[in-house]
Structure 1
């Protein structure tokens, strides 16, 4: 049975509103939730970015389902700090938390003033961070020198069991690499042929654990309204020919996105007025090899999205899966 979760986007809502939304998502029938962990939004129209770890504590205390986060240890977060945050949440809410670890994005990491290192070094830094985090969660004292440095670190408050640490990947190459250390895969919807390669690469490299797919959707009363929401909130997804991981400022994303066509906007999100049609498209993506799907309604009116999800989208999706 496929888990159907709700994605909470910190870049688009104030933390208080996002907390109300995740509480509502549980009552609407979602099985679980996950959230982003950004310091800055993707564009100026989004205009928010609360601190994910504080919010996660409140969200876990206010709901009964599981929550996960996609985060990047190594630059903005020292891995010892990430390990302590993970341990604290899992100790308070055992069995309800997971983290997907990625190599980061310049829009969040550049603020430290450290150089934005090439992808191969970011991967090396992430792999070292994962090793440090796991050792700390196991109760070890850790000293490490490499892409990161750790001096005699220990965690004093630890859970009885460590939560799953998944690998965040958007390319087949990264997915195959993550299979060597991750306890699951977390990725985002892309064109079918690309997404299929990502899922296949992880499995072929021996990857185990859950396969998590995040899907951006715009579901409105008309197609025109759904496209308008995507244009207002999610037009950065239409950027092509540029590595989004290397862009530093929301203003830069806006400039690169320009004024995309409706067709370009449709390449970055599933856009529809028809819940059944949208459910069928989501189910087709899930069928590529995923057992968890988290839906991100890309509009800022989450009350309307959640009401429509409860009434139309979730029933249609559960029939389609």
Structure 2
């Protein structure tokens, strides 16, 4: 049975607002909540980028039933994997076993800020393999010394180890990444609704797993206003992952998307008041075999109204698609 989530979009809302939205999303009936983990928004007009882990710690205290997840964090550049292991363990305790650590190979936008450069995708994925190995070892609670090609850990131990182990979901994009990561993680994350990814994952991965996707929508009583907001804040979405992962600054995203028109965005993102049209956005993921789909409501200004008035009937329509 498919599960539907709400996205805590740190690029478009402040920390206090995100905590309030998280509580409202649980009340509205979402099954899980995912948080982006960025240092910088994609576009200046989005205007926010609070620290996701602090926000999630607060969210864990105002919610009680929804699963929580990073979607996704990069444990290889801006964060050392030992630090991610500690953060994830603590969040699992605070949430009483509701947290899934979503990881990926990262974006230049967020990772270049520490001045370590931006390696090739092959190197990024090799580093992610080592990072997951380190996180797994540390979550055992044992003392760890690790000497890898990219990372070293010297006599480290996680002292507060959760009773419920932290499961890991990893972002994949093709056969190579699936071959590398499926044996290391419990769950799969992908940004495109491609059935081939699900099939390949199931071939390589042992046991059951969740396949988690994400889709943007832009609800507004006025369709034109919805399209304008989606174009203003989400036109970067048209670039695709291969391009977006390499751009280092919001100025770069603005330049790369300068010729994207409002009608181009409206063709990719369901906009306006029609709940059936918005609900249909999740259908490609369900058809491809994804078990979980998180919805992004684009923009901050309609979030309260969306959660209070729209989320419940929208969830009914999405669940009817199953």
Q: TM-score range by the shorter chain?
A: over 0.9
Residue 63 of structure 1: how far off its partner (Å): 0.6
For the 8 Å contact 2:46–2:299, the answer to whether it is kept is no
* Root mean square deviation, CA, Å: 1.9
* Structure 1 match to 2:318: 317
String of CA shifts for 1:284-308, please: whole Å, max 9, x gaps: 4222111111111012121122234
* More divergent stretch after superposition (66-75 vs 265-274): 265-274
Report what 2:37 is aligned to.
Answer: 37
Q: Give 1:116's match in structure 2, choosing from 115, 118, 131.
A: 118
Give me the whole-angstrom Cα distance separating, in 2, the residues matched to 1:317 and 1:295: 11
Q: TM-score when scaled to structure 2? A: 0.92
What SS is found at the alignment partner of 1:212?
strand
2:208 matches 1:205: no
Deviation at 1:267, TM superposition (A): 5.4
CA shift in 2, pair 1:73/1:268, >3 Å: farther
TM-score, structure 1 length as denominator?
0.92
Question: 1:51 corresponds to which residue?
Answer: 51
8 Å CA contact 1:14–1:49 kept in 2: the answer is yes
Change (3 A) 1:268 1:100: farther
Unpaired segments of 5 or more residues in structure 1?
Answer: none
Point out 4+ residue stretches in structure 1 off by more than 6 angstroms. Answer: none
Partner of residue 159 from structure 1, selected from 158, 162, 165:
162
8 Å CA contact 1:167–1:175 kept in 2: the answer is no
**Partners of 2:281 and 2:295 in 1: how far apart?**
12
- What is the CA distance between 1:241 and its match in structure 2? 9.6
Cα pair 1:141 1:153 within 8 Å, conserved = yes
- Unaligned 5+ runs, structure 2: none
CA distance in 1, matches of 2:101, 2:315: 25
Task: State which of 71, 74, 80 in structure 2 corresponds to 1:72.
Answer: 74
SS of 1:234 mapped into structure 2: helix
